Amino acid sequence: MRILSVVEESVVDGPGIRTVIFTAGCPHRCKGCHNPSSWNPAGGEEVEVEELVQRIKVSGWDGVTVSGGEPFLQSSALAELVMACKSLGKNVWVYTGYTLEQLEAMHDEAVQTVLDYADVLVDGRFEQSLRDMGLRFRGSSNQRIIFLNKV
Amino acid sequence: MKLLQLYEDVCVLPDQDLVQENANVDGKSPLGKLARLSSEVSKELSQTYLMSERSKQAVSENYLYVHDADYYITGSTTCCQIPLGQLLKYGFHTGHGTIRSPKDIRSAMALASIILQANQNMQHGGQAFPMFDVDLAPYVEKTYERQLSRLQSLPVDWDDAQLEQLAEEETISATYQACEAFIHNANSMHSRGGGQVPFVSINYGTDTSKWGRILIRELLRATERGLGNGETPIFPIQIFKVKEGINFHEDDPNVDLFREACRVTGKRLFPNFSFIDAPFNASYYDGMHESEVAYMGCRTRVMGNRHGEETSIGRGNLSFSTLNLVKMALVSESLTDFYRILNRYIDIGIEQLVERFDYQCTRRAEEFRFLYTQGVWRGSEQLHMQDEVRDVLKQGTLSLGFIGLAETLKVLTGSTHAESREAERIGLDIVTHLANRMRVAAEAHDLNFSLLATPAEGLSGKFVTRDQEEFGMIEGVTNRAFYTNSFHVPVYQSVSIREKVRIEAPYHALCDAGHISYVEVDGSLAHNAEAVESIVRLMRQHDIGYGSINHPVDRCGNCGLEGLIDAACPTCGEDEDIERIRRITGYLVGTMDRWNTAKREEERARVKHDAHSIRR
């Protein structure tokens, strides 16, 4: 998996303390993006999913967030990562610039696996005109926090 | 003394570090300057007339620091956990008339402020209430009863349920207002020497009664709301007492209040959290509120007692002095040699504390009227005005502290306790040795000697400045403007939250005179109470005694946005009027103007956990 960085203990990418994996490459190129260096799909470095899982194990906190970049650019690796995290009993959040509807319309098996296994999807592009600092775990008000596993 | 020098330093061109030893005082104010002048003169007096040659030499050679030396000559003691319940129940006397027991929560909390103000000028350290909820709950109930009878007297046809509901609503609202007023008072009464607000701490969280719970909830609400313009209150320091079976597990009666406390600390940096179940605190716990550990905000803890009941209440620290471990390491040839030198200065430190204690004992009750004639200090009811205070002073603690364990280990082993297992082991050995020496001293002198993880506001820069002159700039040791506090992992070293808590936890058991661990996180916790709760639970799991979470709380003075603000407010673009609340040695400070150089540099060097998250 091509990743930009791993933050071991984040408090701003979902509830609790979470290990955050920032994937490299993003097609959305939202105006006002906090991190344009994540756009390049050849940026960052190639890391085995297995190694990421190992780091998540070591960190020991309950939550994992996959952010980016656009995580769904690498949907097979993402699916593998999400499933591995779920088998460790982690609570998994995935950020994406796509909307849930767009993802579902892709009819891609790996994408569907992510949606089946991840706990929460934070979806939608960052819209600078809708930017709101008071929002919990989101940058702009069009973005949604969607609980995928209702149970 | 060089009067001209003093005149120039204080009055002509005040230097930030000279006037700003203490972040809580405005050193540039008239009374700040006056206090500075008198403190210089009184230090000179005690050095000339009261201290032994050996103590003076250890101080002048930069091995030992005597805290609050400017108060030495007055014979004052450091701090006290004030028995608020007792004072309110029986009324008290501040010198200009008697104050009766209050009849409702508003007057009870107003009196609580007056008590802090009165006792503040008896001592030189902080003032605390050990069980704020338990002590005030009766006055919440009185308020309810008053409201109930008032409503009953009205010519309206309410049934009992309506009456009770209305009375309760009135009571809750009155309690909220009382809490709000108490917090405002704590941030506005400049009652110490006219220039300082009292260092006030309150402990609470374990009262499960209906009335105690209302008090806790409204106190947290008022704290969250903040001051007049929504500013974060700097005082009181709030300490939420965590206790399994009361507020920690899912079905505990006060777990909702614990969660509320986590949420509020994510916004306001308070409350901090203390842990009654940590083994060294649990050993005193007998199920009664009086046996719950209470901390002073900065970290001071008083529990063990050779001369009476083992409780925090009505007791405090008498005086404390701090050893410069780093210098001892710098002059030693080997680890064995280090212990030899350390032992020498522990001896001197003990002597110096006893020396000061003997002087404090010759003072008379009338010199500290409120403290000794109103039943504030344990056992003082037996004193007459003219009596020397020796017999009751024994209830207090004499504490020796230390600073710079991290830099010391760097000198001795080449790495800090966060960098190698060997250093970690030696660090624990050194502090265990200090703790053992305190135990032996307690036996030998029959006094409450204890080991303190020194809070070192002015000292963190003073020791290192002098050591730089002598040893030069040594990488990782003297090359910063500060030494690391007590046993802390240096703020400039990057370790995970888990590692920091794991490494620091064992020192809490050793430093019985007080300890605190901080976890630094970058990014606002205002929306993440779950993260606060996870950290608090981690602390409990590792047997931390007292812990606190630091995170940036910035507030735009123009539009009121709160959170983490870099250079300019992201909402309105304001780049000057930004209030930045940070914590120094346990106290919040509203503007960094009042920080001395060492502390400013320390803040800059702090490694925030999760410093590089992309989304803020």
**What pLDDT score does B471 carry?**
97
Q: What mean pLDDT comes out for the span B404-425?
A: 97
Query: Which tens digit of pLDDT belongs to each residue from B8-24?
Result: 888 776 665 655 555 55
pLDDT confidence of B607, banded at 50, 70, 90? low
By the 8 A CB rule, do B68 and B319 touch? yes
Do β-strands B578-584 and B587-589 pair in parallel, antiparallel, or remain unpaired? antiparallel
3-state secondary structure of B146: helix
By the 8 A CB rule, do B556 and B572 touch? yes
CA distance B171 to B29: 41
Kindly state whether A148 is in contact with chain B, defined as any CB-CB distance less than 8 angstroms. Answer: no
With CB atoms and an 8 Å threshold, state whether B498 touches A22.
no
Report DSSP state, residue B9: I
B552: cis peptide before it, omega within 30°? no
Cβ contacts (< 8 Å) between A139 and chain B: which residues? Answer: 615
Could you give the count of Cα atoms lying within 13 Å of A132 in the half-sphere of its Cβ? Answer: 11
Total length of chain B: 616
Interface A–B counts its CB contacts (< 8 A) at 68
The DSSP annotation for B373-423 comes to: HTT-STTGGG--TTSBSHHHHTTSEEEEEEE-HHHHHHHHHSS-TTT-HHH
Number of other CB atoms surrounding residue B269 within 10 Å: 25
With CB atoms and an 8 Å threshold, state whether A34 touches B535.
no
pLDDT confidence of B581, banded at 50, 70, 90? confident
With CB atoms and an 8 Å threshold, state whether B531 touches A7.
no
By the 8 A CB rule, do B296 and B201 touch? yes
Tokens 């374990």 belong to residue: B206
CA distance B20 to A70: 50
User: Measured between CB atoms, which of B496, B535, B613 is closest to A13?
Assistant: B613
Q: What mean pLDDT comes out for the span B215-235?
A: 92
Secondary-structure percent of chain B, ordered helix, strand, coil, rounded to 5: 50, 15, 40
- Nearest one of B542, B553, B318 to B445, comparing CA atoms: B318
**What pLDDT score does B592 carry?**
57
Cβ contacts (< 8 Å) between A133 and chain B: which residues? Answer: 561, 563, 570-571
Number of other CB atoms surrounding residue B567 within 10 Å: 7
Search chain A and give the residue with CA nearest B533: A16
Closest-CA distance, B496 to chain A, in angstroms, reads 7
User: Measured between CB atoms, which of B531, B612, B615 is closest to A139?
Assistant: B615
Interface residues from chain B to A (CB-CB < 8 Å): 496-498, 521-525, 527-528, 530-531, 533-535, 551, 561, 563, 570-571, 609-610, 612-616
Closest-CA distance, B420 to chain A, in angstroms, reads 18
3-state secondary structure of B599: helix
Number of other CB atoms surrounding residue B130 within 10 Å: 31
- Give A 33-52 residues with CB within 8 A of chain B: 34-35, 38
With CB atoms and an 8 Å threshold, state whether B612 touches A67.
no
Greater model confidence, A101 or B494: A101
Kindly state whether A22 is in contact with chain B, defined as any CB-CB distance less than 8 angstroms. Answer: yes
Angstrom distances, CA of residue B431 to CA of B508, B517, B541 = 10, 16, 22
With CB atoms and an 8 Å threshold, state whether A133 touches B571.
yes
3-state secondary structure of B552: coil
Angstrom distances, CA of residue B348 to CA of B54, B124, B384, B585 = 7, 23, 34, 26
Angstrom distances, CA of residue B529 to CA of A138, B155, B343 = 16, 46, 45
Closest-CA distance, A42 to chain B, in angstroms, reads 18
By the 8 A CB rule, do B231 and B590 touch? yes
CA distance B164 to B465: 64
Kindly state whether A9 is in contact with chain B, defined as any CB-CB distance less than 8 angstroms. Answer: yes
CA distance B433 to A108: 64
**What pLDDT score does B577 carry?**
82
Per DSSP, chain B holds a count of helices (H) and strands (E) of 21, 17
Closest-CA distance, B519 to chain A, in angstroms, reads 12
CA distance B603 to B595: 10
With CB atoms and an 8 Å threshold, state whether B534 touches A16.
yes
**What pLDDT score does B25 carry?**
64
Number of other CB atoms surrounding residue B430 within 10 Å: 25
- Nearest one of A42, A16, A41, A9 to A26, comparing CA atoms: A41
User: Measured between CB atoms, which of A7, A11, A20 is closest to B531?
Assistant: A11
With CB atoms and an 8 Å threshold, state whether B615 touches A60.
no
Structure-block tokens of residue A18: 């979470």
Q: What mean pLDDT comes out for the span B578-605?
A: 67
Search chain B and give the residue with CA nearest A13: B615
Does pTM surpass 0.90? yes
**What pLDDT score does B616 carry?**
31
Contacts of residues B303-308 at CB distance under 8 Å and 24 or more positions apart, as own/partner, are B303/B512, B304/B448, B304/B450, B304/B512, B305/B395, B305/B448, B306/B394, B306/B442, B306/B446, B306/B447, B306/B448, B307/B394, B307/B395, B307/B448, B308/B378, B308/B379, B308/B395
Closest-CA distance, B502 to chain A, in angstroms, reads 13
Query: Which tens digit of pLDDT belongs to each residue from B171-209?
Result: 999 999 999 999 999 988 877 766 677 889 999 999 999
Q: What mean pLDDT comes out for the span B90-101?
A: 88
User: Measured between CB atoms, which of B496, B498, B563 is closest to A133?
Assistant: B563
Query: Which tens digit of pLDDT belongs to each residue from B242-261?
Result: 999 999 999 999 999 999 99
ipTM here: 0.92
Average pLDDT taken over every residue of chain A: 93
Q: What mean pLDDT comes out for the span B524-550?
A: 95
Whether the predicted pLDDT of B613 surpasses 50: no
Kindly state whether A8 is in contact with chain B, defined as any CB-CB distance less than 8 angstroms. Answer: yes
**What pLDDT score does A77 carry?**
97
Search chain A and give the residue with CA nearest B535: A17
Query: Which tens digit of pLDDT belongs to each residue from B281-333?
Result: 999 999 999 999 999 988 999 999 999 999 999 999 999 999 999 999 999 99
B interface mutation test: which of A17, A22, A91, A95 has the most B CBs within 10 A? Answer: A17
Kindly state whether A149 is in contact with chain B, defined as any CB-CB distance less than 8 angstroms. Answer: no
User: Measured between CB atoms, which of A35, A133, A134 is closest to B614?
Assistant: A35
With CB atoms and an 8 Å threshold, state whether B610 touches A7.
yes
Whether the predicted pLDDT of B564 surpasses 80: no
User: Measured between CB atoms, which of B531, B609, B612 is closest to A5?
Assistant: B612
**What pLDDT score does B615 carry?**
35
Query: Which tens digit of pLDDT belongs to each residue from A98-117?
Result: 999 999 999 999 999 999 99
- Nearest one of B413, B401, B400, B402 to B477, comparing CA atoms: B413
**What pLDDT score does B609 carry?**
43
**What pLDDT score does B554 carry?**
80
Structure-block tokens of residue B150: 């008032």
Search chain B and give the residue with CA nearest A131: B571
By the 8 A CB rule, do B508 and B544 touch? yes
